[in-house]
Structure 1
Amino acid sequence: MLSGSRPDVVSLASPETGRSREGGSLLLRLLGLSWAYRGRVLRVLGYQIVLLSLGLAGLGLTGLAIDILRHRLDPSNRLPDLPAGLGRLVDAEREPMRAVLSIGAAILAMAAARAVINYGYALSVGYLVHMEIVPDLRARVYDKLQRLSFRFFDANKSGSLINRVTGDVQLVRSFVDGVLLPSVIMVLSLGVYVAYMLRAHVLLTLACLAPTPLLWIASTLFARWAQPAYLRNRELVDRMVLSFTEGLQGIQVIKGLGREREVHRRFDERSREVREQQQETFRTVSVLSPTIDLLGQVSLVILLGMGGLLVTRDRMTLGQLVVFAGILQQFSGQIASMATIVNTAQQSFIGAKRVFEVLDTPVEITSPEAPARPARVEGRLVFERVTFGYDPERPVLHDVHLDVAPGQFVAVIGPTGAGKSTLLSLIPRFYDPTSGRVLLDGIDLRRHDLDQIRRRMGVVFQDNFLFSNTVAANIAFGAPHATREQIERAAVIACAHEFIRELPEGYDTELGEAAANLSGGQRQRLAIARAVLLDPPLLLLDDPTAAVDASTEREILDAILSATRGRTTIMATHRAHLLRRAHQVIVLDRGRIAERGTHEELLRRRGHYASALALHDAHAVGARADDDTPSRRAAAGARAAEDPA
């Protein structure tokens, strides 16, 4: 990303955004997300209906077996009617033990069937959530992040974004297998259980279900507490992930300054905050679950008292009471699962809110519906009264007018914070002007196709990123189908061909993470080669020699001069070697063009330009004095001989 001062803008974690979506809206969107996978969801529910039916049949057969045995012990007890299929096979009156064994065999067969169906159920749920929902949603979030403007990344920390793509997507997934499916199964099961119990005895059913409203009250109170607690948890995890990623990315600085212990202590603090907050959450969750379980046990106490009375008065058989108790236990188990469902729902709502915030963020920089698609780009660039601010109330550039002819080399100079990088960032439309417009070949950049116009610009930053891939693949990153001949031609232009040939495997050498196995000058020359591979008519360079030593600077300057030939080039730089070769030099001061002209013209005026060069030379002399080794002195002498200021 181009450097420069960027005021804060509203981030995803801001309170305004956090309150923007009510629970009902989140629920509807999550249901809509689940609807996209309705075929597999219905298959999973079908498995559960079969499992529920087999479970009820098994309980019913158990009750029959108990009543047959009770009749065998005391013939005065009524013999139950066997199901039609079983009654044709065995006579319970004459052969009670054979009937009981037949019932046992049927229960065993149903248990085996349940095991097979449970296996299919587990496979279907696993495939649904891990092979479809998670990959699809993660891909959607990542795709959206790729299309969002630099302004979005200015406002949101990388740790939060990483956590949304990984952890929060998993929380959204948990809505399907931890909330939606269990809820539907619970409602379906409760409906069947209540119907079965009412058929057995209405008054007993109403008495046993009397504590149920208390369960809804407990769950509602928990839900009100849980949502802000889980939101706080995700924010703390964001901070922990950010601390971790910064520790990895800044390992050289950390080790170089001997700050390992302090960095570890800070990460440990962030981790402790997450742990303590989770402990508080777990304590509350641990209260909810046994509370619901206790209320379920109250129903069993009512059953034992009232049900036992009904059996003694011969208004219900013992087998029916056992079946009723079994169903009531399953009913209580489903109600007890409500605690887990409510807990998972609150977590999934928080994850969904954070994921949907990314998906709902408007894409600021887009192509128009009917973009201009010129066959070729000449490279004429015009800024017409351009004003821009990352915060519209605080402009960084003020009323900038600039006219660059095709093939011209324009150098931009100015103090830190003057707006040099910001000026360059408007050309590839990393941002759009607050007012005014930028024209390319007489057409407003906002009328061009975004991808096409960016492919016709080569951009080189101060600190360029190289991927963990081969040298050839890094050069051809913007044109994956480029031939080896094209790649080598770009490397020659960037003065990189010779050092690439000396690498262990040449162009097929694998680069490590962030290309740490190359020098700074080599990395910059590969970046220049990547920028010129497609022979772009425009080249944008953001002070690419700012952080390199004198010998490396010479390598990069040679590459730059080679790459700029025949291209419209805009470059932010303080190097006199390059300023002298510019067709025009633009001097920025506090976001305004203070001076413009050639190097010689501006020196004669003794204004902002001369002062900026003098200040830069003073800094350069100071830096050389701080590291006055023989090699540094030799390099400086050679440079002075070739490039007298």
Structure 2
Amino acid sequence: MLPGSRLDLGSPPASATARSRAGRSLLLRLLELTWAYRGRVFRVLGYQIVLLSLGLAGLGLTGLAIDILRHRLDRSVAAPALPLGLGRLVDVERAPMLAVLSIGAAILAMAAARAVLNYGYALAVGHLVHMEIVPDLRARVYDKLQRLSFRFFDANKSGSLINRVTSDVQLVRSFVDGVLLQSVIMVLSLGVYVAYMLRAHVLLTLACLAPTPLLWIASTLFARWVRPAYLRNRELVDRMVLSFTEGLQGIQVIKGLGREREAHRRFDERNREVREQQQDTFRKVSVLSPTIDLLGQITLVILLGMGGLLVARDRMTLGQLVVFASILQQFSGQVASMATIVNTAQQSFIGARRVFEVLDTPVEITSPEAPARAAQVEGRLVFERVTFGYDASKPVLHDVDLDIAPGQFVAVVGPTGAGKSTLLSLIPRFYDPTSGRVLLDGTDLRRHDLDLIRRRMGVVFQDNFLFSNTVAANIAFGAPHATREQIERAAVVACAHEFIRDLPEGYDTELGESAANLSGGQRQRLAIARAVLLDPPLLLLDDPTAAVDASTEREILDAILSATRGRTTIMATHRPHLLRRAH
């Protein structure tokens, strides 16, 4: 990690006012994200409206059937009137059982319709969140990561970034289907239930809903209580993922030094921290649901006492009371779901903040709005009083002046940590100078189109990464549409053609992860072939012979000498004897 460059992606706002303001801003961002998918969101809500209507209609018919049966058993009770003019088709007085059977058939038909609609609802929600929101948001985060400068990756651990692209995106998704949609459905359902209950009996409704404000108070207090726990959980998961990835990437070192048990203990410790923290969070979460359930049962006690009294005094029919009780039970169920919604909201807000922090990170290295036009790059590089430091107060390079002629091969020699790699990194604009400027053919690099200028430079790093793909695809990574002839020509220049032909499938040989099935010299020669495929006028070599034996060094140097002909080449190295290769 570079000193002084770390982004504070985890600390919460300092004051309650700041937290409130940040929470409102985050909510607006999430609502804007959802609005982009409003067509499918409204379709999902449409399903729910129809399902709610069918559910209420089924309850109403159930209450009607109960009142018909009660009239059948006790003629002193008035016969209920059938809705929608159905009384003309079925005479409740003469054929009550036929009326009940007809109502039963209607309820069964509604249940079948609800089953079909629930299937459609599940498909619509699944398509919305898993086929659109998650892939789109992951692509946006990954695209932004590709455009951020090296300084960002220097300052942020890979485990945290992996979590932001994977699990944090899923948490953002949960805001749509687990918070917003469920909240709208809850509010819509509660509104309809309250209207239905008020229509049945106003006083009974008000009495049963009296404990409702306590539910909102409990949910608000819970949200404030549990928010820090979810934030801490994401930090601990980041540490666990980092420990896991380091264990995989450093498996050779771990095994070579016999540290398997220690590595396992280290990961187990990270895993234990996550588990214990989650247990603490689960204990907190487990308090809310029973509390809300308990408050919901209070309404049932009120209903049994007051509702029974109303039925006894003929102020309400038994069927109406049963329907009222069913709706009140569903009302309590919807209110109880508030616990899940609040819990999901807290998790989604934490995930959303971490995702938006990546999306909102400014792109430091960009192309100018009106880039300079360079018909052809000759390859003249000039450093004018260039100063640069990862920490501005501690420059690594200070007032560097350098003039490299087109076609010249320059070796930059110095001990480890002298700033050789840093000097090279300023040429393709992995970083920009703190002061001074770097000119290519007399024009400041910052005035050139970034992608265009990088495609005119071949870069070979000290540790080159090769992808799990064919040899040909790795060479052509910078030019996917390159012909096989162009690929083989680049391999010849890099002195790689002979060993590639000896591979089992030649250029179509699949490389393993990190090209572990190749030697170090072979990997470097493939990297050189990749760098020269587009015939760039500039070639940058960052200590390409570091940590290799003498035989491998000769292989790489032969490839370098072949690749540097006719190009401006700068090679950073800590080996003084390579100076004679420069000219």
Tell me if structure 1 keeps the 8 A contact 2:459–2:541.
yes
Superposed displacement of residue 253, structure 1: 0.8
* Cα distance in 1, alignment partners of residues 556 and 61 from structure 2: 85
* Cα distance in 1, alignment partners of residues 4 and 322 from structure 2: 76
1:14-41 CA distance string (max 9 Å, x none): 9999979711111111111111111111
Tell me if structure 1 keeps the 8 A contact 2:2–2:390.
no
Q: Secondary structure at the match of 1:368?
A: coil
User: How high is the TM-score relative to the length of structure 2?
Assistant: 0.97
Superposed displacement of residue 373, structure 1: 2.6
* Cα distance in 1, alignment partners of residues 12 and 414 from structure 2: 34
Gaps of 5+ in 1: 584-645
Q: 1:179 to 1:314 in 2, by over 3 A?
A: same
* Cα distance in 2, alignment partners of residues 525 and 302 from structure 1: 82
Select the structure of larger CA radius of gyration. 1
* Cα distance in 1, alignment partners of residues 237 and 17 from structure 2: 19
Superposed displacement of residue 101, structure 1: 1.1
Tell me if structure 2 keeps the 8 A contact 1:408–1:568.
yes
Superposed displacement of residue 7, structure 1: 12
Q: 1:125 to 1:153 in 2, by over 3 A?
A: same
- Does the alignment pair 1:438 with 2:471? no
Tell me if structure 2 keeps the 8 A contact 1:6–1:390.
no
Q: 1:329 to 1:10 in 2, by over 3 A?
A: closer
Q: Secondary structure at the match of 1:6?
A: coil
1:346-400 CA distance string (max 9 Å, x none): 0000010000001000010000001113111000100111111111121111111
Q: 1:4 to 1:202 in 2, by over 3 A?
A: closer
Superposed displacement of residue 575, structure 1: 3.4
* Cα distance in 2, alignment partners of residues 5 and 111 from structure 1: 61
Q: Secondary structure at the match of 2:20?
A: coil
1:452-485 CA distance string (max 9 Å, x none): 0000001011110001111111111111111111
Q: 1:515 to 1:238 in 2, by over 3 A?
A: same
Tell me if structure 2 keeps the 8 A contact 1:219–1:339.
yes
Superposed displacement of residue 435, structure 1: 0.6
Tell me if structure 1 keeps the 8 A contact 2:204–2:307.
yes
Tell me if structure 2 keeps the 8 A contact 1:397–1:423.
yes
Tell me if structure 1 keeps the 8 A contact 2:5–2:391.
no
Tell me if structure 1 keeps the 8 A contact 2:12–2:19.
no
Q: Match for residue 175 of structure 1?
A: 175
* Cα distance in 1, alignment partners of residues 386 and 344 from structure 2: 51
* Cα distance in 1, alignment partners of residues 38 and 111 from structure 2: 28
Q: Secondary structure at the match of 1:111?
A: helix
Q: Secondary structure at the match of 2:165?
A: helix
* Cα distance in 2, alignment partners of residues 3 and 535 from structure 1: 37
Q: Secondary structure at the match of 1:580?
A: helix
Tell me if structure 2 keeps the 8 A contact 1:2–1:542.
no
Tell me if structure 2 keeps the 8 A contact 1:2–1:461.
no
Q: 1:578 to 1:21 in 2, by over 3 A?
A: farther
* Cα distance in 2, alignment partners of residues 9 and 375 from structure 1: 42
Superposed displacement of residue 501, structure 1: 1.1
Tell me if structure 2 keeps the 8 A contact 1:145–1:358.
yes
Q: Match for residue 67 of structure 2?
A: 67
Q: 1:485 to 1:297 in 2, by over 3 A?
A: same
Tell me if structure 2 keeps the 8 A contact 1:4–1:422.
no
Q: 1:7 to 1:122 in 2, by over 3 A?
A: closer
1:572-624 CA distance string (max 9 Å, x none): 113344301323xxxxxxxxxxxxxxxxxxxxxxxxxxxxxxxxxxxxxxxxx
Tell me if structure 1 keeps the 8 A contact 2:7–2:156.
no
Superposed displacement of residue 408, structure 1: 0.9
* Cα distance in 2, alignment partners of residues 240 and 427 from structure 1: 36
Q: 1:460 to 1:567 in 2, by over 3 A?
A: same
Q: 1:16 to 1:216 in 2, by over 3 A?
A: closer
Tell me if structure 2 keeps the 8 A contact 1:368–1:449.
yes
Q: Match for residue 155 of structure 2?
A: 155
* Cα distance in 2, alignment partners of residues 85 and 436 from structure 1: 88
Superposed displacement of residue 10, structure 1: 10
Cα RMSD over matched residues? 2.4
Q: 1:389 to 1:218 in 2, by over 3 A?
A: same
Runs of 4+ in structure 1 off by over 4 angstroms are 1-21
1:220-239 CA distance string (max 9 Å, x none): 01100121111110111111
Q: 1:571 to 1:17 in 2, by over 3 A?
A: farther
Q: How many residues align?
A: 583
1:162-220 CA distance string (max 9 Å, x none): 01100000000001110011100000000000001111111111100000000001000
1:377-426 CA distance string (max 9 Å, x none): 00010011111111112111111111111111111111221111110000
Q: 1:578 to 1:18 in 2, by over 3 A?
A: farther
Tell me if structure 2 keeps the 8 A contact 1:382–1:438.
yes
Superposed displacement of residue 525, structure 1: 0.6
Superposed displacement of residue 562, structure 1: 1.2
Superposed displacement of residue 323, structure 1: 0.8
Tell me if structure 1 keeps the 8 A contact 2:2–2:391.
no
Superposed displacement of residue 85, structure 1: 4.2
Superposed displacement of residue 522, structure 1: 0.5
Q: Match for residue 332 of structure 2?
A: 332
Gaps of 5+ in 2: none
* Cα distance in 1, alignment partners of residues 158 and 7 from structure 2: 17
Tell me if structure 2 keeps the 8 A contact 1:542–1:573.
yes
Q: Match for residue 475 of structure 1?
A: 475
* Cα distance in 2, alignment partners of residues 474 and 210 from structure 1: 69
Tell me if structure 1 keeps the 8 A contact 2:410–2:570.
yes
* Cα distance in 1, alignment partners of residues 450 and 121 from structure 2: 47
1:244-295 CA distance string (max 9 Å, x none): 1111111111111111111111111111111111111111111100110110
Q: Match for residue 503 of structure 1?
A: 503
Q: 1:92 to 1:11 in 2, by over 3 A?
A: closer
Superposed displacement of residue 80, structure 1: 1.3
Tell me if structure 1 keeps the 8 A contact 2:420–2:572.
yes
* Cα distance in 2, alignment partners of residues 114 and 390 from structure 1: 62
Q: Secondary structure at the match of 1:547?
A: coil
* Cα distance in 2, alignment partners of residues 425 and 16 from structure 1: 43
Tell me if structure 2 keeps the 8 A contact 1:68–1:80.
yes
